[in-house]
Structure 1
């Protein structure tokens, strides 16, 4: 069935602590994720800056002193003069690839010998490094044509740096560094930050702990006061119902019963005197008075079921069903004795009140052909279900069941909350089901 709504559950220490722990975990996750992303960006920037500085040192101290004017357009001369320097002093665990270009895109030297002497179009960063002499560094995936013969996997840090031959001819020195530098720096930053973050969160928790405890104490106190007020209201209501029922029983009901007895006597006298018409009128009056007495006694059971305190919940529910026996709906009652035994007196009273209001609602408003009342024992609670096959509740009334906006629904919602139970309602065009779950 749909839609569905549930009455709010009372707060508990476990729920509050769980919510606080979840909030702390969420805050830690958000801060950690943000920190990781932030430090990855910082690490990239620092690594790029670092390899740019290393490339400047290599270019100025090793590459440029080894250049000759003949190397500017002669790959063979460049290879002969630079190979030893490149392989023995520049290609290290960090530098994995090197190239030397002329401005026309000719590869004068490469540690991958198959590239030497080939010509490729210089990319924008390379041209910028030559046009406005400066060091250009960034991250590359080796996806350009000149990288087709190179075997370095994954990302690399790529640096372009102009160098000059003795007569001032500009050439372009290119070096590739391992991307591990970024990961290493990111780990270093994270290790340093994680300690600060954890200590900060711990300090925040220490500072918040008194406030959280104060909030919990006040919330718990308000809840206990509400429950106490509700319990007093229910006790007062029960006592008032009992008083009204006793007054009616000892007063009006006895008077009506006496009147029925007197009218019955007059019927016999009229028959004896041969006044048949008068006897019939008096018999009708006596029957009306007896019907009134029966109706009044049903009302007394509805107002205050003595069987609830004397015979228990099953007897009270049976009496409740009998009070509605004149309705058009067929009422089916099923009570598990173990479920009744699992409830204390206060819980039995709460279950009876909810069943009473739900049954009254189904009889008066649902237009149902069948109404089912079932009390059963579940692994963790005792469950009362009142279901019908009537027209169902409107969606706004289902919402009112959760918010307590409808008087009858608000009453049973308050009864459920006071008993520490959970009340839910599901309704559709084929009927309505109320479910009360009382923890054992």
Structure 2
């Protein structure tokens, strides 16, 4: 057995120790992950994280409400704008156009244009009203501020005919693809209003106006500005009211987390204390009794030999050797149950004691411990690393038939790595996978330990030996 000084270079396993015909260890074996690091471990409650979550929730809520509000306001604005232009058209028809109509205008576009053009251009056309038309019931354009339309005949659409048949005002979004709208220069959509007017003799004519669609956009913006102010102030008020509740939840979460941590520490302390108590009871009881028995039997061996009873001395000597082996086994068990050096001297001393307990094995054991690696682990992690090293070393000594075993604890960029490698018979990859999937007791034991500290546990096994690697986040 070889135990190098802590931090010293690992000695190579002697060539003579390699069984004949066994291939040399590969540079980088195929690693099979037995345990992956836990990703769902609870994180400590944080005021910053709580504020970020609240801010994200408020932003999402504001976005959803704003998007919904924009759609609703556009619909409301469209309805209000249509209603508004319908009212304006009614006023213009009754106060401006209808008083100026004559019976001759109902059939002669030239008379209608001469009588209405100056009046409409001065009193109706403005930045909002972009087109005015006067129709006969047969679809003849009697007047339009667009002179090229005057005198042309088009088929009236259903809304225009309805406005004449059942006298009323019809308003909506115009279809600029219709033939009579081919000369419209206004981009985008327009608001269109139909309503009947009558000549002095009662002949019905159709009065049509076109308004810019900007009325809808302007009204929608007005509604949105008013609503956004109310919404923001409401959200701020809600946040102010929720602040004490959120703070209370945060404090309770922190208290609950601290209580869980205290319970976990107490459980670990209780487990450690129980191990220490059992180890002390065995050491002060059974081990002392067996040691005393071995001393007494040894005295009887000397007495029997002095009296010439050689056969009896040999039998007593065998019994004394058996008792001494039992004492050695019990002391090894005490180290397994509660390694005092792990608490008193740290992980490096405990691993050195662990190697010494296997001094009777035929394998040469090399140990290398980086002091920085051991110092980077807390008490629970050191306990876990020790247990994994203990189980891996025990399996290698008992089952692998290895001539050389290497235990290395090193510091890595993201944590600490424990590696236990032997040059024993190993397992074929398919056999290793089967053992892992079947929940082999040894693998399950070290896997459970790795899970408790959130470590990654990997295994590489083949004809050139077996390697276990445990990566613990520091």
Match of 2:74 among 40, 47, 62: 40
- Deviation string, structure 1 residues 373-405 (Cα, Å, up to 9, x no partner): 9764557xx4668999645988xxxxxxxxxxx
Work out whether residues 383 and 435 of structure 1, in 8 Å CA contact, stay in contact via their aligned partners in 2: yes
Give the corresponding residue for 1:24: 58
Match of 2:379 among 349, 353, 362: 349
Cα distance between partner residues in 1 of 2:55 and 2:167 = 56
Q: 1:128-277 maps to which residues of 2 (within 5 A)?
A: 128-140=162-174, 142-256=176-290, 275=311
Where does the alignment leave 5 or more consecutive residues of structure 2 unmatched? 1-32, 421-428, 438-443, 462-467
Work out whether residues 358 and 386 of structure 1, in 8 Å CA contact, stay in contact via their aligned partners in 2: no
Give the corresponding residue for 2:347: 313
Kindly state the Cα deviation for residue 298 of structure 1 after the two structures are TM-superposed: 4.3
- Deviation string, structure 1 residues 238-284 (Cα, Å, up to 9, x no partner): 222222223333443454556667778889988x96659x959965x
User: What secondary structure is seen at the aligned counterpart in 2 of 1:6?
Assistant: coil
Cα distance between partner residues in 2 of 1:350 and 1:15 = 27
Match of 1:102 among 111, 136, 141: 136
1:319–1:93 CA distance, 2 compared to 1 (3 A):
farther
Kindly state the Cα deviation for residue 363 of structure 1 after the two structures are TM-superposed: 10
Is 1:52 the counterpart of 2:82? The answer is no
Cα distance between partner residues in 2 of 1:10 and 1:201 = 28
Cα distance between partner residues in 2 of 1:358 and 1:187 = 69
Cα distance between partner residues in 1 of 2:205 and 2:159 = 14
Give the corresponding residue for 2:48: 14
Q: How many matched pairs?
A: 406
Cα distance between partner residues in 1 of 2:184 and 2:450 = 77
- Deviation string, structure 1 residues 181-219 (Cα, Å, up to 9, x no partner): 122222222222222222222222222222222222222
Where does the alignment leave 5 or more consecutive residues of structure 1 unmatched? 395-405, 417-422
Cα distance between partner residues in 2 of 1:206 and 1:297 = 65
User: What secondary structure is seen at the aligned counterpart in 2 of 1:9?
Assistant: coil
Name which structure has the greater RCO, CA cutoff 8 Å, separation 6+.
2
Cα distance between partner residues in 2 of 1:372 and 1:143 = 85
Q: 1:325-404 maps to which residues of 2 (within 5 A)?
A: 337-343=371-377, 348-355=378-385, 376-378=411-413, 382=415, 390=433
Cα distance between partner residues in 1 of 2:354 and 2:160 = 92
Q: Which moved more, 1:193-202 or 1:299-308?
A: 299-308
- Deviation string, structure 1 residues 296-325 (Cα, Å, up to 9, x no partner): 444433332333234433454676799899
Work out whether residues 169 and 196 of structure 2, in 8 Å CA contact, stay in contact via their aligned partners in 1: yes
Q: 1:278-289 maps to which residues of 2 (within 5 A)?
A: none
Kindly state the Cα deviation for residue 358 of structure 1 after the two structures are TM-superposed: 6.6
Kindly state the Cα deviation for residue 32 of structure 1 after the two structures are TM-superposed: 3.0
Question: Based on CA coordinates, which of the two structures has the bigger radius of gyration?
Answer: 2
User: What secondary structure is seen at the aligned counterpart in 1 of 2:207?
Assistant: strand
Q: Which moved more, 1:27-36 or 1:228-237?
A: 27-36
User: What secondary structure is seen at the aligned counterpart in 1 of 2:192?
Assistant: strand
Kindly state the Cα deviation for residue 94 of structure 1 after the two structures are TM-superposed: 1.0
1:318–1:274 CA distance, 2 compared to 1 (3 A):
closer
Kindly state the Cα deviation for residue 46 of structure 1 after the two structures are TM-superposed: 1.5
Q: Which moved more, 1:299-308 or 1:47-56?
A: 299-308
Cα distance between partner residues in 1 of 2:61 and 2:112 = 58
Give the corresponding residue for 1:81: 115
Kindly state the Cα deviation for residue 93 of structure 1 after the two structures are TM-superposed: 1.0
Match of 1:127 among 161, 164, 170: 161
TM-score (norm 1): 0.72
User: What secondary structure is seen at the aligned counterpart in 1 of 2:184?
Assistant: coil
Cα distance between partner residues in 2 of 1:361 and 1:79 = 107
Give the corresponding residue for 1:401: none
User: What secondary structure is seen at the aligned counterpart in 1 of 2:132?
Assistant: strand
TM-score (norm 2): 0.67
Kindly state the Cα deviation for residue 288 of structure 1 after the two structures are TM-superposed: 6.1
1:119–1:358 CA distance, 2 compared to 1 (3 A):
farther
Kindly state the Cα deviation for residue 159 of structure 1 after the two structures are TM-superposed: 1.7
User: What secondary structure is seen at the aligned counterpart in 2 of 1:25?
Assistant: helix
Q: Which moved more, 1:51-60 or 1:144-153?
A: 144-153
Cα distance between partner residues in 1 of 2:74 and 2:445 = 59
